[in-house]
């Protein structure tokens, strides 16, 4: 039922060269587009050192993925247009019996390996130089900022279904409101009292899981005043999607006055709180 | 062919019926909304009771809130309708025994008018237990071991811990709705509703017997220890 | 054992309906499952009531013990009602073995234990497609809820159950989705065998998978479960009874995965026809082999983790409770150690289908066959070395993150090889744009986007933004739905004429393809943006600024659902109503399964064939794959 392939004619187009040219042109267009047209619109903004690092990396990754995207799209389009069977033909004609090409296979493997290892190296260097880029690094962070010792410590406590915040440097006062000073290194210690939550402040570029019995540290330095959303990013039960709050970034002086006023207001409750610690072990069982 | 067509139609009809059952009895299952009482001066009254055991099917031993509807009947629902931008007077009759807070931060009364709530022991609710005896006492913070439950609306920063009945009290209510003759505490406070919207509320005392961290079961079920304020 | 020496059942009696009703079949399975549940539940209550006070008699522990033992009872009842205990009991009693059960002609064989692998495959197809549609319906409800940024159509707890049911049902059913119907049907025939190595176990895995689906649905009767498909402890320890249904259902699937994997591996190793050397094995069979390796090695870890949660919930162990010496990280690690190979259990069969179908409609041999096999083994091996990328933000030791970033990036090398194979096959081809071919081309388009988004996720700095958000959702829907499900659809349109003997309507098929492709992309591509703009997973209330985007996505999702209804309509119309007979080889394929008559006889091959080539001999008119002339030849033919 099927016929042998036609012998290659003298005016057979140079598919390889044609495809390569189209691909090169497409890549040359899309890489700058991804950096200068798409890039500025990529979240999460430039409010903090973490978000700037995330944004820069995402722009780089978008630009680097353009050659791959164009390779596949251009090839698929090229093949679909140029390598069709003749629909008018009654018999089914076979293509040439090409089973492989070791040079192309080797080239593909080597290039993809180089690209991938390069990406991993770039990602690692980026992560280490950007102080962990806002992600929770566990209790023993690998990438600490140079001014970590003078950072403002803020403990984020996740509980079902409310975020509270303790400031150990101000008597361990606990509030449900998150206020942060601008232009100061902040060291978040994220933990939980019951199940696994995740502290996600996208505008700050911070995400760290709140695990009971564990201390998860993330760093950020914020460059402008404003407000930001805090959401829970790990399913924690009924009100997981409603465990939201709004945080505020204010000047250093305003932060000082606020925290002292809050400490005074909540002095009675603060006396009854357990001593500030990196993890808490409330009793787990039955009936509290 | 016709027999097969009939079989196909019948099968699809049966499947659609099953889907309808799934939606109505499972996905949409939940308590109805009940409105607060509107007073002549425009303010609203919300009257609640909190019980240690609901006492009825399907979860007789679960703790629960109940609300008094405008006709005076106690209804088992935690979805309450309140008018917007209104002063709401809340009265809570608390019949459950004390458990204590997991996070003592919630012992603070926040978001009420004046920053206080009035506490009263009725019957022998606080007797002989080391719990203080309250008599219309306004408080801005409660001793953290005393609450049996809290009424907290995180989005409005409103939180009122509800003092618990002493475990050694004489007539502790065991099934809802509880009559006023049983030992209970009365907590009264007022707050202003904001603009229209739906605001979730929950209890923060880990009082769910038998569940890890005391937060399973009724603590995660709307109709018992969680609910919604539908402000319109 | 020489395949040709198996005794063929020559006594084909069709029993009267009353006798079929009374013999072991699914009706008795249901009845005995209910009885078993009641017995187990009562037994559980009795045990728990007399337990020590620490085990909370009368409380939630007793309920868990009762429900878990009840489910165990229903599993035993289900399996017994189908007759799976008959063979072992008969052998213990000294009776002679029978290698064939339920293979008599007639529709009844589809409702009982049948050792014909083709029947098991069809049962699998109906079962997995049924649950696929149920899970898809749940997805439609999820998208309905998400049309509003804060109002609740479904109360919050029910919404979480919806999310969990959709995810768990899709993942469990699609893990079996290719290896069940297509793996079981094709592997014996493609290697020239009459049956699988363990036909009874094959049937058992199918019935267990179907039971697992119904057990999962029973969660709705137990109040639902709040953890999503990932079942994170300690929330799983805290949840109500519905999560026991999730645990038992997933455990059953784990057991089924192990058994299916062993079955396929033993079949391929021992039952290949003469001449079927490893070099001639169809790429689809290689995909089944690598998937089976993953299933056998990874699923037991899941089973262990699930069992630990069951024990935490019922007898108060503290595996996952940090204040008593356990750790939530234990669940994270155990679950994702299984969880990552699990997604390759989903992806590899997709690769196999696409690379198997592409040569037929490109009319060219599979390009780079050995590289494709190496790529599949590379993916399988490396999938065990990347799982911490699900935990980058969880507070794992910070030193681990660069390492797992590296291994995760590396796994894209063998994955990319599949693309190279596909492209090489298309080079200078004579492409026929049949519906299976369209699905294969769409596979490459979709999986590319899925794979590239995976590169973003594997980079820790970028993952800080996107972990746990709708970006991840879009990523795995592109790889699993855009990849596996599209490939599965292609495989169904390709092989169903052979499996059922009936043609599928091509107009409806083309309509289904185009709608599915267009609306799938329109549904999921915007979700990358939703994730990067801050929308977490599994929430029913989100930032109001994302409202328009979500409404758009929901409308597109409803259209996608409509395309799936067209698919269902095509199946019903073509297979139940119209029933137009298919020819033996409508696609003019050179693969072995198309060289036998349609419908395929019970014994597959009249004589065990001698294999003389691989199935990709396009371009050379004299390249046959099989020689049916010689019976039971032992020596492999040279050449080809």
Report the DSSP beta bridge partners of residue A84: C431
A122 and A177 belong to one structural domain: no
DSSP 8-state class, residue B131? P
Of B7, B23, B217, the CB nearest to C240: B217
CA distance linking residue C452 with residue C474, whole number of Å:
12
Q: Is residue A143 part of a domain?
A: no
CA distance linking residue C457 with residue C390, whole number of Å:
9
In sequence order, the 6+-apart residues with CB closer than 8 A to the CB of C195 are C6, C115, C116, C117, C188, C271, C604
Task: Scan for tokens 């809570």, then name that residue.
Answer: B92
> How many structural domains comprise chain A?
2
Q: Max Cα separation, chain B?
A: 82
Of A96, A124, A132, the CB nearest to C428: A96
Of C156, C220, C576, the CB nearest to B26: C220
C152 and C77 belong to one structural domain: no
CB contacts of A282 in chain B (<8 Å) are 102-103, 206, 213
CA distance linking residue C363 with residue A95, whole number of Å:
5
Q: Find which of B79, B145, B197, B206 to mutate to test the A interface (most A CBs within 10 Å of its CB).
A: B206
Whether A272 and B214 lie within 8 Å, measured CB to CB: no
Whether A288 and B214 lie within 8 Å, measured CB to CB: yes
Q: Is residue C638 part of a domain?
A: no
Q: Is residue A80 part of a domain?
A: yes
CA–CA–CA angle C147, C150, C153 (5° rounding): 60
Neighbours, chain B (3 or more CB pairs < 8 A): A, C
Of B105, B209, B211, the CB nearest to A164: B105
pLDDT tens digits for range C464-504: 999 999 999 999 999 999 999 999 999 999 999 999 999 99
CB contacts of B220 in chain C (<8 Å) are 157, 226, 238-240
> How many structural domains comprise chain C?
2
Tell me: pLDDT of C640 over 50.
Answer: no
C453 and C515 belong to one structural domain: yes
| A1, A89 Cβ separation under 8 angstroms | no
Phi, psi of A282 (to 5 degrees): -65, 155
The verdict on A159 touching B (C-beta cutoff 8 Å) is yes
CB contacts of B62 in chain A (<8 Å) are none
| C155, B200 Cβ separation under 8 angstroms | no
Among C355, C295, C347, C287, CA closest to C484: C347
A108 and A25 belong to one structural domain: yes
Query: Which secondary-structure segment (H or E) carries C300?
Result: helix C283-315
Two tokens, residue C50: 């007399």
Q: How confident is the model at residue C585 (pLDDT cuts 50, 70, 90)?
A: very high
CB contacts of C239 in chain B (<8 Å) are 216, 220
Whether A268 and B105 lie within 8 Å, measured CB to CB: no
Q: What is the three-class DSSP state of C37? A: helix
The verdict on A285 touching B (C-beta cutoff 8 Å) is yes
Tell me: pLDDT of C2 over 50.
Answer: no
A18 and A120 belong to one structural domain: yes
| C154, C145 Cβ separation under 8 angstroms | yes
Q: What is the three-class DSSP state of A132? A: helix
Whether C321 and B212 lie within 8 Å, measured CB to CB: yes
Q: Is residue A45 part of a domain?
A: yes
Q: Is residue C634 part of a domain?
A: no
Residue B119, pLDDT score: 92
Whether C619 and A85 lie within 8 Å, measured CB to CB: no
CB contacts of B209 in chain A (<8 Å) are 286-287
Q: Is residue A20 part of a domain?
A: yes
In sequence order, the 6+-apart residues with CB closer than 8 A to the CB of C500 are C122, C575, C582, C599
Of C431, C452, C588, the CB nearest to A1: C588
C106 and C203 belong to one structural domain: no
Whether A143 and C157 lie within 8 Å, measured CB to CB: no
CA distance linking residue C58 with residue C110, whole number of Å:
43
* Beta-carbon pairs below 8 A across chains A and B: 89
The last residue of one of the domains, among C111, C138, C171, is C111
Global pTM reads 0.94
CA distance linking residue B143 with residue A217, whole number of Å:
32
CB contacts of A96 in chain C (<8 Å) are 364, 428, 619
Q: How confident is the model at residue C629 (pLDDT cuts 50, 70, 90)?
A: low
CATH number of C619's domain: 1.20.210.10
Among A143, A154, A155, A144, CA closest to A181: A154
Two tokens, residue B199: 């605001």
CB contacts of B100 in chain A (<8 Å) are 288
Number of residues in chain C: 640
Locate the chain A residue with the closest alpha carbon to B142: A269
Two tokens, residue C392: 């980058």
Q: Is residue A226 part of a domain?
A: yes
C-alpha dist (Å) from residue C402 to A63, A129, C463: 22, 13, 12
Neighbours, chain A (3 or more CB pairs < 8 A): B, C
A120 and A188 belong to one structural domain: no
CA distance linking residue A203 with residue A222, whole number of Å:
10
CA distance linking residue A63 with residue C184, whole number of Å:
43
Whether C362 and A83 lie within 8 Å, measured CB to CB: yes
C-alpha dist (Å) from residue A244 to A229, B70, B156, C93: 7, 33, 12, 65
Residue C631, pLDDT score: 47
C105 and C129 belong to one structural domain: no
Of A282, A285, A286, the CB nearest to B102: A282
Whether C60 and B210 lie within 8 Å, measured CB to CB: yes
| A189, A30 Cβ separation under 8 angstroms | no
Q: How many CA atoms lie within 13 A of B205 on its CB side?
A: 29
A170 and A235 belong to one structural domain: yes
Q: Is residue A279 part of a domain?
A: no
Residue C634, pLDDT score: 34
Q: Find which of C438, C465, C624 to mutate to test the A interface (most A CBs within 10 Å of its CB).
A: C465
Q: How confident is the model at residue C633 (pLDDT cuts 50, 70, 90)?
A: very low
The last residue of one of the domains, among C111, C145, C172, is C111
C313 and C177 belong to one structural domain: yes
Higher pLDDT, C373 or A143: C373
Two tokens, residue C475: 């990523």
Whether C237 and B4 lie within 8 Å, measured CB to CB: no
Two tokens, residue C590: 């050179």
C-alpha dist (Å) from residue B199 to A174, B85, B194, C225, C534: 23, 14, 10, 23, 21
Q: Find which of A116, A145, A190 to mutate to test the C interface (most C CBs within 10 Å of its CB).
A: A116
| B140, B109 Cβ separation under 8 angstroms | yes
Q: Is residue C221 part of a domain?
A: yes
CB contacts of A2 in chain C (<8 Å) are 363, 588, 618, 621
Q: Is residue C637 part of a domain?
A: no
Q: Is residue A7 part of a domain?
A: no
Tell me: pLDDT of B101 over 60.
Answer: yes
Burial (0-12, 13-18, 19+ Cβ within 10 Å), A59: middle
Two tokens, residue C561: 């659902």
Query: Which secondary-structure segment (H or E) carries C400?
Result: helix C400-410
C53 and C186 belong to one structural domain: no
CA distance A117 to chain C (A): 7
Whether A176 and B107 lie within 8 Å, measured CB to CB: no
CA distance linking residue C217 with residue A104, whole number of Å:
50
CA distance B8 to chain A (A): 37
User: Average pLDDT in the C559-588 region?
Assistant: 95
Among B76, B72, B46, B23, CA closest to B230: B46
C444 and C557 belong to one structural domain: yes
| C525, C137 Cβ separation under 8 angstroms | no
Q: Is residue C635 part of a domain?
A: no
C147 and C209 belong to one structural domain: yes
Two tokens, residue C305: 């983790």
pLDDT tens digits for range C382-438: 999 999 999 999 999 999 999 999 999 999 999 999 999 999 999 999 999 999 999
The verdict on A194 touching B (C-beta cutoff 8 Å) is yes
CA distance linking residue B195 with residue B217, whole number of Å:
32
Q: Beta strand pairing status for A245-250 and A179-181?
A: parallel
Residue B128, pLDDT score: 67
Whether B26 and C151 lie within 8 Å, measured CB to CB: no
A227 and A192 belong to one structural domain: yes
A110 and A210 belong to one structural domain: no
C123 and C106 belong to one structural domain: no
Omega prior to B177 cis, within 30 of 0 = yes
CB contacts of C237 in chain B (<8 Å) are 212
Per-residue pLDDT of chain A (288 residues; tens, 9 = 90+): 445 555 455 567 899 999 999 999 999 999 999 999 999 999 999 999 999 999 999 999 999 999 999 999 999 999 999 999 988 887 888 999 999 999 999 999 999 999 999 999 999 999 999 888 999 999 999 889 998 899 999 999 999 999 999 999 999 999 999 999 999 999 999 999 999 999 999 999 999 999 999 999 999 999 999 999 999 999 999 999 999 999 999 999 999 999 999 999 999 899 999 999 999 987 655 432
C312 and C253 belong to one structural domain: yes
Locate the chain B residue with the closest alpha carbon to A159: B103
A110 and A222 belong to one structural domain: no
Whether A286 and B107 lie within 8 Å, measured CB to CB: no
Domain extent, residue A82, equals 13-94+101-129
Q: Beta strand pairing status for B74-75 and B64-68?
A: antiparallel
Q: Is residue C309 part of a domain?
A: yes
Residue C92, Ramachandran bin (φ over 0: left; ψ between -120 and 50: alpha; else beta):
alpha
Q: Beta strand pairing status for B79-82 and A2-3?
A: unpaired
Neighbours, chain C (3 or more CB pairs < 8 A): A, B
Whether B213 and A160 lie within 8 Å, measured CB to CB: yes
Residue A287, pLDDT score: 34
ipTM of the complex: 0.94
Of A161, A266, A288, the CB nearest to B102: A288
CB contacts of C141 in chain B (<8 Å) are 23, 27
Q: Is residue C278 part of a domain?
A: yes
A154 and A241 belong to one structural domain: yes
Report the DSSP beta bridge partners of residue A246: A229
User: Average pLDDT in the C181-197 region?
Assistant: 95
Please name the residues between 277 and 306 in chain C that touch chain B, using a CB distance below 8 Å. none
C84 and C119 belong to one structural domain: no
Among C112, C136, C132, CA closest to C123: C112
A125 and A159 belong to one structural domain: no
Whether B197 and C150 lie within 8 Å, measured CB to CB: yes
Omega prior to A44 cis, within 30 of 0 = yes
Of B104, B207, B210, the CB nearest to A272: B104
The last residue of one of the domains, among C67, C96, C111, is C111
CA distance linking residue C304 with residue C477, whole number of Å:
27
Alpha helix ranges (H) inside C99-198: 117-145, 156-178, 184-190
C-alpha dist (Å) from residue C124 to C179, C203, C362, C371, C485: 9, 9, 30, 31, 16
CA distance A31 to chain B (A): 45
State chain C's mean pLDDT as an integer.
Answer: 92
Q: What is the three-class DSSP state of B190? A: strand
Whether A94 and C363 lie within 8 Å, measured CB to CB: yes
CA distance linking residue B231 with residue C15, whole number of Å:
67
Q: How confident is the model at residue C208 (pLDDT cuts 50, 70, 90)?
A: very high
CATH number of A182's domain: 2.60.40.420
CB contacts of A193 in chain B (<8 Å) are 102-103, 213
Per-residue three-class SS string for C334-388: HHHHHHHHHHHHHHHHHHHHHHHHHHHHHCCCCCCHHHHHHHHHHHHHHHHHCHH
Domain extent, residue C466, equals 115-608+611-627
| C395, C332 Cβ separation under 8 angstroms | no
C268 and C306 belong to one structural domain: yes
Residue A286, pLDDT score: 43
């Amino acid at each position: 039922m099927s016929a042998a392939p036609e012998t290659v004619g003298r005016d057979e187009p140079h598919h390889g060269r044609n495809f390569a040219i189209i691909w090169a042109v497409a890549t040359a267009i899309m890489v700058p587009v991804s950096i200068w047209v798409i890039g500025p619109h990529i979240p999460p903004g430039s409010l903090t050192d973490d978000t700037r690092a995330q944004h820069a990396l995402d722009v780089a990754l978008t630009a680097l993925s353009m050659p791959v995207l164009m390779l596949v799209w251009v090839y698929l389009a090229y093949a679909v247009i140029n390598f069709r069977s003749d629909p008018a033909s009654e018999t089914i004609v076979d293509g040439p019996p090409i089973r492989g090409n070791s040079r192309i296979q080797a080239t593909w493997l080597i290039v993809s390996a180089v690209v991938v290892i390069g990406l991993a190296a770039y990602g690692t260097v980026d992560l280490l130089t950007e102080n962990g880029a806002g992600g929770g690094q566990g209790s023993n962070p690998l990438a600490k900022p140079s001014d970590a010792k003078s950072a403002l410590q803020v403990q984020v406590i996740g509980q079902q279904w409310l975020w509270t915040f303790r400031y150990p440097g101000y008597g361990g006062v606990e509030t449900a409101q998150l206020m942060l000073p601008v232009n100061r290194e902040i060291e978040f210690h994220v933990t939980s009292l019951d199940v696994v939550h995740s502290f996600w402040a996208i505008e700050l570029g911070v995400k760290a899981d709140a695990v009971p019995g564990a201390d998860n540290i993330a760093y950020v330095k914020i460059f402008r005043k404003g407000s930001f959303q805090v959401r829970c990013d790990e399913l924690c039960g009924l009100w997981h999607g409603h465990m939201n709050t709004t945080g505020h970034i204010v000047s250093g002086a305003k932060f000082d006055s606020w925290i002292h006023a809050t400490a005074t207001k909540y002095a009675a409750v603060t006396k009854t709180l357990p001593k500030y610690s990196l993890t808490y072990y409330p009793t787990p069982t039955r009936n509290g | 062919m016709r027999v097969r067509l009939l079989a196909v139609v019948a099968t699809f009809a049966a499947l659609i019926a099953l889907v309808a059952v799934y939606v109505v009895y499972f996905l949409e299952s939940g308590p109805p909304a009940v409105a607060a009482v509107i007073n002549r001066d425009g303010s609203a009254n919300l009257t609640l009771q909190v019980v240690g055991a609901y006492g009825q099917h399907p979860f007789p031993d679960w703790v629960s809130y109940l609300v008094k509807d405008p006709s005076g009947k106690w209804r088992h629902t935690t979805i309450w309708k309140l008018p917007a931008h209104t002063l709401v007077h809340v009265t809570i009759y608390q019949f459950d025994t004390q458990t204590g807070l997991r996070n003592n931060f919630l012992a603070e009364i926040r978001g009420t008018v004046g920053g206080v709530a009035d506490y009263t022991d009725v019957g022998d609710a606080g007797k002989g237990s080391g719990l203080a005896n309250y008599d219309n006492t306004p408080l801005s913070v409660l001793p953290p071991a005393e609450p049996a439950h809290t009424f907290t609306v995180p989005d409005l920063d409103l939180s009122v811990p509800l003092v618990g009945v002493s475990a050694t009290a004489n007539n502790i209510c065991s099934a809802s709705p509880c009559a006023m003759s049983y030992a209970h505490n009365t907590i009264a406070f007022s707050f202003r509703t904001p603009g229209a919207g739906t605001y979730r509320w929950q209890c923060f005392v880990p009082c769910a017997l038998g569940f890890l961290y005391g937060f399973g079961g009724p603590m995660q079920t709307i109709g018992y220890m969680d609910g919604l304020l539908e402000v319109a | 054992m020489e395949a040709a020496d198996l005794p063929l059942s020559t006594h084909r009696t069709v029993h009267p309906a009353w006798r079929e009703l009374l013999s072991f079949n699914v009706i008795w399975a249901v009845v005995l499952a209910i009885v078993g549940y009641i017995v187990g539940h009562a037994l559980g209550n009795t045990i728990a009531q007399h337990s020590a006070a620490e085990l909370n008699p009368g409380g939630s522990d007793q309920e868990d013990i009762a429900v878990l033992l009840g489910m165990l009872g229903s599993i035993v009842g289900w399996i017994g009602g189908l007759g799976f205990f008959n063979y072992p009991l008969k052998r213990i009693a000294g009776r002679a073995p029978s290698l064939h059960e339920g293979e008599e002609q007639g529709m009844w064989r589809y409702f009982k234990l049948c050792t014909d692998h083709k029947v098991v495959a069809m049962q699998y197809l109906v079962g997995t497609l049924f649950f696929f549609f149920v899970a898809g319906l749940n997805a439609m409800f999820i998208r309905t809820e998400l049309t509003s940024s804060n109002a609740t159509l479904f109360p919050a707890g029910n919404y979480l159950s919806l999310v969990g049911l959709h995810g768990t049902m899709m993942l469990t059913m699609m893990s079996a989705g290719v290896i069940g119907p297509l793996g079981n049907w094709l592997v014996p025939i493609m290697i020239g065998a009459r049956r699988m190595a363990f036909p009874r176990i094959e049937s058992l895995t199918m019935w267990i998978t179907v039971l697992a689906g119904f057990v999962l649905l029973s969660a709705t009767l137990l109040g639902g479960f709040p953890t999503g498909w990932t079942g994170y402890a300690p929330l799983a320890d805290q949840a109500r009874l519905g999560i026991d249904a999730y645990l038992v259902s997933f455990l059953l699937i784990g057991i089924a995965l192990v058994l299916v994997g062993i079955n396929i591996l033993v079949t391929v190793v021992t039952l290949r026809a003469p001449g079927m050397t490893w070099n001639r094995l169809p790429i689809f069979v290689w995909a089944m082999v690598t998937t089976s390796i993953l299933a056998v090695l990874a699923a037991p870890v899941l089973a262990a983790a699930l069992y630990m949660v069951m024990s935490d919930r019922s007898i108060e162990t503290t595996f996952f409770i940090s204040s008593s010496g356990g750790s939530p990280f234990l669940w994270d690690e155990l679950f994702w150690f299984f969880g990552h190979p699990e997604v390759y259990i989903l992806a590899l069969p997709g690769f196999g289908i696409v690379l198997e179908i592409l040569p037929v409609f490109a009319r060219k041999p599979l390009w780079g066959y050995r590289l494709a096999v190496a790529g599949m083994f590379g993916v399988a091996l490396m999938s065990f070395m990347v799982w911490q990328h699900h935990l980058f933000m969880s507070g794992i030791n910070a030193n681990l993150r660069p390492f797992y970033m590296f291994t995760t990036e590396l796994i894209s090398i063998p994955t990319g090889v599949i693309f190279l194979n596909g492209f090489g096959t298309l080079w200078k081809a004579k492409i026929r744009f049949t519906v299976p071919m369209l699905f294969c081309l769409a596979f490459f388009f979709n999986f590319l986007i899925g794979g590239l988004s995976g590169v973003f996720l594997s980079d820790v700095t970028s993952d800080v933004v996107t972990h746990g958000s709708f970006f991840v959702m879009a990523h795995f829907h592109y790889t699993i739905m855009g990849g596996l499900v599209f490939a599965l659809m292609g495989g169904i349109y390709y092989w169903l004429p052979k499996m059922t003997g009936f043609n599928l309507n091509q107009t409806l098929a083309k309509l289904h393809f185009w709608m599915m492709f267009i609306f799938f992309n329109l549904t999921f591509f915007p979700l990358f943006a939703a994730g990067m703009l801050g929308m977490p997973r599994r929430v029913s209330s989100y930032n109001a600024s994302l409202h328009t985007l979500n409404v758009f996505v929901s409308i597109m999702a409803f259209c996608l659902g409509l395309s799936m209804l067209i698919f269902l309509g095509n199946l019903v119309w073509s297979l139940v109503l119209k029933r137009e007979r298919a020819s033996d080889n409508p696609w003019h394929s050179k693969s072995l399964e198309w060289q036998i008559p349609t419908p395929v006889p019970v014994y597959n091959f009249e004589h065990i064939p001698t294999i003389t080539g691989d199935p990709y001999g396009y371009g050379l008119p004299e390249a046959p794959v099989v020689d049916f002339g010689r019976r039971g030849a032992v020596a492999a033919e040279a050449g080809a």
